[in-house]
Amino acid sequence: MAAARAPDAPVITVHVPLGDRAYDIFVGRGLLGEAGARIAALGARAAAIVTDSNVGALYGGALADALQQRGLRASIITVAPGEATKSYASLETVCDAVLEARIERGDLVIALGGGVVGDLAGFAAAVARRGVRFVQVPTSLLSQVDSSVGGKTGINSRHGKNLVGAFHQPSLVLADTALLDTLPIREMRAGYAEVVKYGLIDDAGFFDWCEANWQGVFAGGPERNEAVAQSCRAKAAVVVRDEREEGDRALLNLGHTFGHALERITRYDSARLVHGEGVAIGMCLAFRFSAFLGLCSADDATRVERHLVTVGLPTRLQDVPGGFGTVDELLDGMAQDKKVKAGALTFILARGIGQSFVAHGIEIAKVRAFLNHEIAATRT
Ligand SMILES: NC(=O)c1ccc[n+]([C@@H]2O[C@H](COP(=O)([O-])OP(=O)(O)OC[C@H]3O[C@@H](n4cnc5c(N)ncnc54)[C@H](O)[C@@H]3O)[C@@H](O)[C@H]2O)c1
Ligand SMILES: O=C(O)C(=O)C[C@@H](O)[C@H](O)[C@H](O)COP(=O)(O)O
Ligand SMILES: [Zn+2]
């Protein structure tokens, strides 16, 4: 059961100005208690809540009751937790359940859960009846700071991560940071990797802030709301500049070229590797690759790794439970990356902390040499 927002608990609003697809992100403790009113204000008659069995058991009933009290017909569609749920089979299940519930284009699909539920439900909303409005109620740190914002939706293919999907912006994002009190610590750490990402991309001051304040973020102090809101501001700014990733938006992929290849190799098995862990390893690899190419100092790469190790995240290929495959398997995974242009790899590299850039046309031979060097190296 979700606690109501205390009268003095602040709500931070981040507006995403995307013309006729503009929306607000609300961040604060206890916002689920206001979800009925805030969602009813969108003017729908019915809502299908998509959730996974972990989150549904904790918060599904409260959300459905709140909507019904505001006169919306609410139904709940429950999927299995974990990355393997971002599949063709789950897409079919969710689309059919949305249609079965007679959700019209002007009604709502509500994603209540982490990024897995958000990506799957968002994609179902994008394609059912060729487009139904949807709302994100993110419940993991990762989904509050990243996946609920920006409109990327989709599922995985055996060929790679998120290879089937659509851009479909939400109409509203409600991030109740109190819900993170029930999030398992491993998932909290994984989501935190995407928080650090914003500092590494273009905001060295925010990386300093993370080093100083991460414990408050984990403990649920005011630092948590600040980290979520600042991450949403940073992501919204990039998305507004380049909604469909024709340029700058690729910066948000820092660490993902390596990370997605690792997720494919581990067959989307959340017991072995979750997305944020892949991103943590991938960001360290991106910084060490940048140092290997002479673009950034080894000290900066070491500082990135030190912070991620401090919070308990994996940072090396060797940290993947059950192994990371071979260099050829890694390169094979990267060849399916959506940033590939004219057959050549694109990486997000860095000249230092907060100085990342999009690098096209990276030679495979250099990536191979770097990966062999990584495998031979031991942690300092
Ligand atoms: N669309 C985007 O822009 C974008 C951005 C980043 C990541 N992603 C995607 O997001 C996914 C990862 O999302 P995630 O890290 O949230 O994983 P997840 O959705 O699997 O959630 C993590 C786990 O925590 C549980 N959980 C979630 N909220 C909880 C809560 N409040 N209390 C207790 N348990 C809770 C879930 O049931 C699940 O077991 C990946 O598929 C990744 O590709 C998408
Ligand atoms: O929103 C974006 O753009 C991102 O790249 C955010 C990433 O954290 C996220 O994992 C995203 O789903 C990756 O997108 P993809 O296009 O590389 O599949
Ligand atoms: Zn990501």
For the stretch 112-133, pLDDT in tens is 999 999 999 999 999 999 999 9
pLDDT at 227 over 60: yes
Q: In whole angstroms, give the CA distance from residue 233 to residue 243.
A: 14
245 flagged as catalytic:
yes
pLDDT, position 284: 98
275 flagged as catalytic:
yes
* Residues 163-175: tens digit of each pLDDT: 999 999 999 999 9
pLDDT, position 379: 52
Q: In whole angstroms, give the CA distance from residue 140 to residue 157.
A: 23
152 flagged as catalytic:
yes
Q: In whole angstroms, give the CA distance from residue 191 to residue 231.
A: 11
Q: How large is the average pLDDT for residues 309-336?
A: 96
168 is in an annotated binding site: no
pLDDT, position 378: 60
Q: How large is the average pLDDT for residues 253-259?
A: 98
CATH number of 185-378: 1.20.1090.10
The domain limits of the chain are 12-181, 185-378
pLDDT at 79 over 70: yes
Arch. (CATH architecture) of 12-181:
3-Layer(aba) Sandwich (3.40)
When pLDDT is cut at 50, 70 and 90, the band that residue 6 belongs to is confident
Q: How large is the average pLDDT for residues 39-62?
A: 98
Beta bridge partners of 15: 24
Nearest C-alpha to atom 13 of ligand 2 is from which residue? 253
**How high is the mean pLDDT of the chain?**
96
pLDDT, position 302: 98
Residue 178 CB–ligand 1 contact under 6 Å = no
Q: How large is the average pLDDT for residues 302-309?
A: 98
pLDDT, position 7: 73
Catalytic residue among 187, 194, 243, 263: 194
256 flagged as catalytic:
yes
Q: In whole angstroms, give the CA distance from residue 109 to residue 74.
A: 10
Q: At 345, is the secondary structure helix, strand, or coil?
A: strand
Catalytic residue among 189, 197, 256, 316: 256
When pLDDT is cut at 50, 70 and 90, the band that residue 380 belongs to is low
Task: Assess contact for 330 and 235: CB atoms under 8 A.
Answer: no
Catalytic residue among 133, 152, 224, 264: 152
Q: At 143, is the secondary structure helix, strand, or coil?
A: helix
- Cα of 369 vs centre of ligand 1, distance in Å, is 33
- Cα of 152 vs centre of ligand 2, distance in Å, is 7
pLDDT at 1 over 70: no
